[in-house]
């Protein structure tokens, strides 16, 4: 599968599928079309029988720098709700993908990009990676699952610090707090991703799927309630002064003036 913004490659020898967000000039930010294409690529990878899935960003500047802020700046609340629901569908599809998933975080992973990584089973970061739930500085909150998945990984207070302050942390700190499982030197990153994905794909597929289902079932059963609340809260911020100002300032490359 090839799309203007998303590519899917399935290695027939290893059965490893790689989905790449291919918008390096835009730091791989996800437009609506790209997000929909990412969902389609997940479906295609599953149909192809992928035994491991890698999600990556083109170039070495960004994994996924976030959602498309120039698109979001003028959204109404109903439009924002629809965008949140699309983001949730894609993140949920990653989380429930039948084979192990690996987020190959090379460069920036902000906002929606961090949330895509959170939905994966493994998060491997290059040393140059920088990660953050930066939505607060746009006058919004994480809207693709971050408020629910981040605390499960790093604990409640650490998640609150990252979300309330919009902190951007380097790969080493991300590993220290449990946000990523492995940090790899930049020049060895591609090799390590290939090695890990091939190793995962070589494991017995039925047992691996059963293990993933059992691990997923161990999570708090109220997660879906929390995700529904997050979608409503995120969408409800659209049309507020701070959302309009935060995104307009970002697009104009100036400091926002929040109320």
Q: What is the pLDDT of residues 95-108, one digit of tens each?
A: 999 999 999 999 99
pLDDT score recorded for residue 2: 54
- Higher confidence at residue 64 or residue 210? 64
Backbone Cα Rg of the chain: 17
Which residues form the catalytic set? 115, 135
pLDDT score recorded for residue 30: 95
Mean pLDDT of 129-136: 98
Q: What is the pLDDT of residues 199-236, one digit of tens each?
A: 999 998 988 988 888 888 767 566 777 788 788 888 99
Give the list of residues 6+ apart from residue 180 with CB closer than 8 angstroms, or none. Answer: 105, 123, 124, 125, 129, 131, 171, 174
pLDDT score of 62 more than 90: yes
* % of the chain exceeding 90 in pLDDT: 83
> 6-186 sits in which CATH class?
alpha beta
Please give the Cα distance from 33 to 209 (Å, whole number): 30
pLDDT score recorded for residue 5: 94
Helices marked H in the chain = 32-47, 69-72, 77-95, 112-118, 146-154, 156-165, 171-176, 189-202, 205-217, 223-236, 241-252
- Higher confidence at residue 145 or residue 68? 145
pLDDT score recorded for residue 125: 98
- Higher confidence at residue 89 or residue 216? 89
Q: What is the pTM for the complete model shown?
A: 0.89
Q: What is the pLDDT of residues 46-56, one digit of tens each?
A: 999 999 999 99
pLDDT score recorded for residue 221: 61
Would you say 135 and 164 are in contact if contact means Cβ atoms under 8 Å apart?
Answer: no
pLDDT score of 1 more than 70: no
In this structure, the dihedral spanned by the alpha carbons of residues 247, 253, 255 and 259, taken in order and rounded to 10 degrees, is -20
Alpha carbon 154 to its chain centroid, in Å, reads: 16
pLDDT score recorded for residue 232: 87
- DSSP symbols for 211-230: HHHHHHHTS-TTHHHHHHHH
Lowest mean pLDDT across 30-44, 119-133, 204-218, 238-252: 204-218
């Amino acid at each position: 599968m090839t799309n203007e913004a998303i590519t899917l490659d399935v290695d027939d020898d290893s059965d490893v599928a790689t989905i790449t967000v291919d918008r390096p000039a835009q730091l791989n930010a996800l437009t609506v079309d790209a997000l929909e294409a990412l969902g389609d690529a997940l479906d295609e990878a599953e149909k192809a029988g992928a035994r491991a899935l890698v999600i990556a960003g083109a170039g070495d500047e960004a994994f996924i720098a976030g959602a498309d802020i120039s698109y979001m700046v003028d959204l109404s609340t109903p439009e924002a709700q629809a965008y949140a629901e699309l983001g949730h569908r894609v993140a949920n599809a990653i989380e429930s993908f039948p084979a192990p998933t690996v987020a190959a975080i090379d460069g920036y992973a902000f906002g929606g990009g961090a949330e895509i990584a959170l939905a994966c089973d493994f998060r491997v970061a290059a040393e140059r990676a920088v990660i953050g739930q930066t939505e607060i500085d746009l006058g919004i909150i994480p809207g693709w699952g971050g408020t629910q998945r981040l605390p499960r990984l790093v604990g409640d207070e650490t998640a609150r610090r990252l979300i309330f302050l919009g902190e951007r942390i380097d790969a080493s700190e991300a590993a220290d707090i449990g946000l990523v499982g492995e940090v790899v030197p930049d020049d060895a990153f591609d090799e390590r991703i290939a090695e890990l994905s091939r190793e995962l794909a070589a494991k017995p597929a039925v047992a691996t799927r059963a293990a993933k289902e059992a691990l997923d079932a161990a999570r708090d059963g109220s997660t879906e309630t929390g995700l529904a609340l997050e979608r409503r809260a995120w969408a409800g911020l659209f049309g507020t002064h701070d959302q309009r100002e935060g995104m307009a300032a970002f697009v104009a490359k100036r400091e926002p003036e929040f109320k």
